[in-house]
A and B are shown apart, each in its own frame.
Chain A
């Protein structure tokens, strides 16, 4: 039988049918994954009827300011509670935050201290709860409920951070939300400490908590708690910090209720809304004061934490009128089986920190300051990864994205007559610290990290040197903690701690703040190990500013085959107090001395073996020949730079014994260097003829665009690429397979594999 297909024109469904289709799809959604509508949007929700009504009733600036201050104090009080009572090391050193969110889920006010990016992302899970659980008869949102969340794909930096989220009701009506977030550390991933660099898929990253109810009637549900404890290495930490976050939220709730009782719900709702709208409007005004311009920069990640390669984070920042647009197109494609990808919300949250911590710290801390700023990325890129890509080491991409933003913004700010902070070279951006785990001297199973990640060197500013080991870029008011307190809980010592690493410098007219050395050795456990998760052992992860230099590179050094505690007991004179001396002098006979990039997967350590790293320096500002010679000599005296390096770089002439400066000789040496520059420098047009190459170098595994062609993304070599809007899987081979292949090739070349069966 012959059949003829007859084309039937599509009929547009009626409004009633569309409603039915929508209801059908909604009722039959098989999985409520991260919602792109929520996850791609960082702007404020539209003003609601309740907000409109409240603003009509209460909009007096003094009342709003009074209530905002009370809410701010409430958030700060909650922050203090978490910091004082939290069990996670991160909590003790300020890697926490609290905030108050509007009924629609926008962050209106965050605590003055802590990690802003945490709370700047919690609006995503709150909006997920509003959209999906509020009307779901099996879940619902009621007074006394609390929700927990950690899965970054629903709105979080990485899965090691956990949030507690409480709805606040007044007379049965939802008026706002409060939340508290802590960098908890341990989360049951394939490596201890919550940030596995060995993760090759999201399934390796430990707990995957989409937002769900874990508190009813202000009580933690014990059955769910037990499940969570059973899924991580630190069950007591899981319980304690859930309680701490819950009680911090309840304290903020108490302060909100005091406001509700004294001023009424309209005043609260109006304060939250107007705070956000006013900040948003002020940000637009401030941006309009910048010069209309496009600034380009890029930051290079030099590893995936598993292998060294070149991963570009490309940034074009354009300001037009009152619009500011970050364009990250051309950045590397996402890695299918490496965890250094980030969701785009993480990148945006970190860029928000550029503004609220370094450009406009006077503005109320909340979501609104970044709300009007636009961000463009390629899909499936390292700064906007897909659901299927691992992202437990997203810090690598959000921090380098932050630095690209910080570097670009500085070039806009210089000409602005109205400034809120000083123009600032990039601050160091890697978490150079030890992540640790195992069984402690007390028999406890632990997994967490040293707070030294908070000791990043600050970038220099327009009129002064960067401060040493000042603060992490994600929390300008965090602490680096007391190592001695930490050592009560963990079975290792930092044998050298907080000592500046000499010659690990970022020179300039004003030099970057320097980083310090950390030398650790396990002592009282046979089941203990370390990992490090940083880039920058081959390529600095910064750029300098206005002629200043970036930092250098930072490797991991190990000394094995030694028990340094025996050395300290029996031959203490052999011990050295710097990486430089230990590695160059090799004072322990029979030991092995080796260096690595800073992506060390979790490694069990033996008693007395040394693991040695350094925190990094912030970038320098301005031409180093303009540096005050007295500042150079001060750096020598403080052990930041060796005399020979100081003399060679800064061209300062001084007496080697007394360090007395010869000003005339210095001026002459500097003038000679300026002449030397003119002699060796090549005119730009000539230079690019020699320098520019049409494709990435053959000897580098390169990812991202080359030059300005952001449409073509390289995937490891000059002959592998894809178009930016047509992403392809980007698998990396196991580094050990690569190494085995190299060694087998050498064996084959020597004829040693001829008899091997294939």
Chain B
């Protein structure tokens, strides 16, 4: 059975591996962080959040300061999907952001049917009003 953990990642409970949901690539052991199986790119935040006012004239420009924060981009090494981003202080060790308890996950899903498509959740519908 496979459990959809994020938009782009699932855990294969039989093999206990993280897998890419886009290309089925086996990312790595789910007893470790999925980031360990990713490619990482240290992105200058100005490339994503462009200066709106002239950086040659002004100290603050609507762009994050690249000496204060970087964007770590995590890519699937097989299909190149950007699985996660992390706004990080320069040099701060990447976070082990998702650390599932595999035996508990297996026990939980032993009671459930496999879910193969994203469960979106309830839509907000217009109030039907009170009527009899």
A-side residues, CB < 8 A to B, are: 291-298, 300, 302, 310, 312, 320, 411, 414-417, 419-423, 462-463, 501-505, 507, 509, 537-540, 542-544, 546-557, 579-580, 583-584, 593-597, 614, 621-625, 645, 649, 673-678, 680-685, 687-688, 691-693, 696-697, 699-700, 702, 706-708
Contact = CB atoms under 8 A, between A and B. Distances in A.
Given A546-B7, A677-B82, A691-B42, 11 more contacts: A302-B68, A547-B74, A547-B85, A595-B58, A596-B60, A597-B60, A678-B80, A691-B91, A693-B90, A697-B91, A700-B89
13 contacts: A302-B68, A419-B119, A420-B122, A539-B69, A540-B87, A583-B54, A584-B57, A593-B58, A596-B60, A678-B80, A683-B40, A697-B91, A700-B90
A414 B60 CA distance: 36
B49 A552 contact: yes
A416 to B, nearest CB: 7
B104 A291 contact: yes
B77 A294 contact: no
A422 B120 contact: yes
Contact of B52 (A302, A504, A537, A596): A504
Main secondary structure of the interface of B (DSSP, over half): loop
B53 A549 contact: no
B24 interface: no
B68 A422 contact: no
7 closest A-B pairs (Cβ-Cβ)? A681-B39, A552-B49, A693-B91, A674-B80, A555-B60, A292-B104, A419-B121
A416 B119 contact: yes
A518 B21 CA distance: 42
A647 to B, nearest CB: 12
Contacts of B52: 501-504, 579-580
B65 A539 contact: yes
Contacts of A538: 60, 64-65, 68-69
Contacts of A423: 121
B71 interface: yes
Given A555-B61, A625-B82, A674-B80, A463 B120 contact: yes
A292 B69 contact: no
A550 B105 contact: no
Interface in B74-132: 74-75, 77, 79-87, 89-101, 104-105, 108, 112, 115, 118-122
B51 to A, nearest CB: 9
Interface in B3-60: 3-8, 35-42, 45, 48-50, 52-54, 57-60
Contacts of A544: 85, 87
Given A294-B99, A302-B68, A684-B36, A462 B118 contact: yes
B53 A699 contact: no
A542 to B, nearest CB: 8
B57 A547 contact: no
A307 to B, nearest CB: 13
Contact of B85 (A543, A596, A696, A706): A543
Query: Could you say which of B37, B40, B57, B104 has the most chain A C-beta atoms within 10 Å of its C-beta?
Result: B40
B7 A414 contact: yes
A538 to B, nearest CB: 4
A614 B49 CA distance: 14
